[in-house]
Structure 1
Amino acid sequence: MLSSGTVLARLFAAACLITGLVACEKTNTAAGEKGPAEKAGQQLDQAASRAGEELNKAAEVAGKGLQQLGQKIQNEAEQAQQAQPKKE
């Protein structure tokens, strides 16, 4: 015999499944309207795309900054080397 916890878990799972199916049902497919889950998914896709673009911009700025810093360090190293007396 099944315990009451097992029965409740199965009823809950069935209720969630039915609710999910009803909530995702498209009622205006003939009109071409998108359902709420599809609209939310599209908004998430757009937000992820914008975030990716912003990350690319930030990485490009950081890369340029690091490149400039590397050039500055190289220039200073060359100047320091030139300032030292040559050993013969």
Structure 2
Amino acid sequence: MHRELQETLERIELAIDIINDIEGRECLTDDDYYETIEPSRENMYKLKRTLETKLERLETDIYTVKETKEDYMRKIAVGY
């Protein structure tokens, strides 16, 4: 998901660069950049942090489930 967002952002930036080269940067002002592109980038980073946090939680949950399964197997092996 993060990779797809990064690729989309890179394509948008490339398209803007091409348009700016063609039109001499008249079509996009610095204000437009900071109002449009920069917030998108910030949103992408917020999403990345959120996804990383969720991934860490999932990894913790997986470890907990794995440990619980091992505990049950030990109990079964020793006959409770």
Q: Which runs of 5+ in 1 are unaligned?
A: 1-16, 27-33
- Bigger CA radius of gyration: 1
Q: Higher relative contact order at CA 8 Å, sep ≥6: structure 1 or structure 2?
A: 2
Q: Give distance in 1, aligned partners of 2:34 and 2:79.
A: 67
Q: Runs ≥4 in structure 1, deviation > 6 angstroms?
A: none
2:27 aligned partner, one-letter code: A
Identity, % of aligned positions: 5
Task: State which of 50, 66, 70 in structure 1 corresponds to 2:66.
Answer: 70
Q: Which among 23, 30, 40 is matched to residue 27 of structure 2?
A: 23
> What are structure 2's unaligned runs of at least 5 residues?
1-21
Residues 1:47 and 2:51 are matched in the alignment: no
Cα drift, residue 70 of structure 1? 0.6
Structure 2 counterpart of 1:71, one-letter code: E
Which has the larger helix fraction? 2
Return the alpha-carbon distance in structure 2 between the equivalents of residues 57 and 67 of structure 1.
15
In the TM superposition, what is the alpha-carbon distance from 1:21 to its structure 2 partner? 4.4
Q: TM-score, normalised by structure 2?
A: 0.62
**TM-score, normalised with respect to structure 1:** 0.57
